[in-house]
Chain A
């Protein structure tokens, strides 16, 4: 088990461009989560999947953000028309999906810089 992986680790883009991040969870983990973290803050919940179903989205999530988990395995997070305020660390996590108290296993994150 190689843990949760994220690609790319760093992304620099110009304002207005689209970017896509990939997350590969721990195999057989049913749940997959996306978070955003900015300096001095904790991970901010964006969305999560139970298998391929997207069960919850933060109301803070702009419609420029979309996430998919087409086969219940890896997931992608796309940000369209990026803005400088999107600059942050984007964290992915997965968990077995055993219910409350489920431990989340985080990837190393993708650091996005929007110029």
Chain B
């Protein structure tokens, strides 16, 4: 069964530092992984994706790394800003992780 797991429910970092959010998966059935960000009282919004043929995708302050052998991906945010405080979900097609709540302190 396809699963996406985010084992860290929360992360707190200082403004300007790097935030690293992790995601593990089993039995990937689809070739794309996506990260979504969710603010309170809103639906998730797309942030960045990566194809399984790549090991890195960068978009401004956001970079996603994919390690297929370890079935692991991570989202790096550098530098972190207070406005990045949100819940981040990793997804593979229609399967989502439980999310990691990021808090960026000023």
Residues of A in contact with B (beta carbons under 8 Å apart): 4, 33, 35, 40-45, 48, 56, 91, 93, 100-101, 103-109
Enumerate 6 A-B pairs (CB-CB under 8 Å) in ascending A order. A40-B98, A41-B98, A42-B6, A91-B44, A104-B46, A106-B36
Q: Which single member of A41, A45, A105, A109 contacts B94 (CB below 8 Å)?
A: A45
| Closest partner residue, chain B, to A93 (CB atom) | B43
| Residue pair B43, A91 in contact (C-beta under 8 Å) | yes
| Residues of B in contact with A (beta carbons under 8 Å apart) | 4, 6, 9, 30-32, 34, 36, 41-46, 49, 51, 89, 91, 93-99
- Chain B residue numbers with a CB within 8 Å of A91 are 43-44
Closest to A9 in B: B41
Contact A4 B43 (CB under 8 A): yes
Q: How distant is B39 from chain A, measured CB to nearest CB, in Å?
A: 10
In the bound assembly, the distance between CA atoms of A56 and B6 in angstroms comes to: 25
Which of A35, A42, A43 has most chain B Cβ within 10 Å? A42
**A42-B98, A42-B99 given; A100·B93 CB < 8 A:** yes
Q: Given that A40-B9, A41-B99, A42-B89 are contacting pairs, would A103 and B94 also be in contact in the complex, using a CB cutoff of 8 Å?
A: no
A33 to B95, CA, bound (A): 12
